Amino acid sequence: MSAEEIDPELIELAGKVFDLARRGDAVGLATFVDAGVPVDLTNDAGDTLLMLAAYHGHQEAVSALLERSADPNRANDRGQTPLAGAVFKGEVEIARQLAMAGADPDAGTPSARDAAVMFDKTELIELFGA
């Protein structure tokens, strides 16, 4: 299916859902996902709702998505994972949430572990272990 064949209203709705993730609207995200929006929906860069919420530092939105089985290891088109995004942004509590949900610190490019070492994030290096 080409982009021209996709209903413009569907594209508009998807854009709104991605905006909710960027803004951290946990209630709005939960409502849309519970109504049938795929929890691992990706944008044109391969970013999931979880990636956007984690990268923008929205802990409640991350929780809402993880509670709805968002994949914490799903990488975007550049090979970046939500955990690596959280590390890059210095979001320690979100990184902790993602790790507790099974996010692999060695997945992606650069991995979350590599990013923690690169930016000397001692607390996160310790969280990921040896």
- Say how many domains are in the chain: 1
pLDDT in tens, the chain (130 residues): 555 677 788 888 888 999 999 999 999 999 999 999 999 999 999 999 999 999 999 999 999 999 999 999 999 999 999 999 999 999 999 999 999 999 999 999 999 999 999 999 999 999 998 6
| Angle at CA of residue 64, ends 58 and 66, nearest 5° | 100
Beta bridge partners of 48: 42
HSE (side-chain half, CA atoms, 13 Å) at 23: 10
Whether 123 contacts 92, CB under 8 Å: yes
Structure tokens at 52: 């956007």
Whether 19 contacts 47, CB under 8 Å: no
**Within a 10 A sphere around the Cβ of 106, how many other Cβ atoms?**
11
Domain that holds residue 42: 3-128
- Closest-CA residue to 128 (of 119, 120, 112, 118): 112
Q: What is the CATH number of the domain that holds 95?
A: 1.25.40.20
pLDDT in the model for residue 54: 97
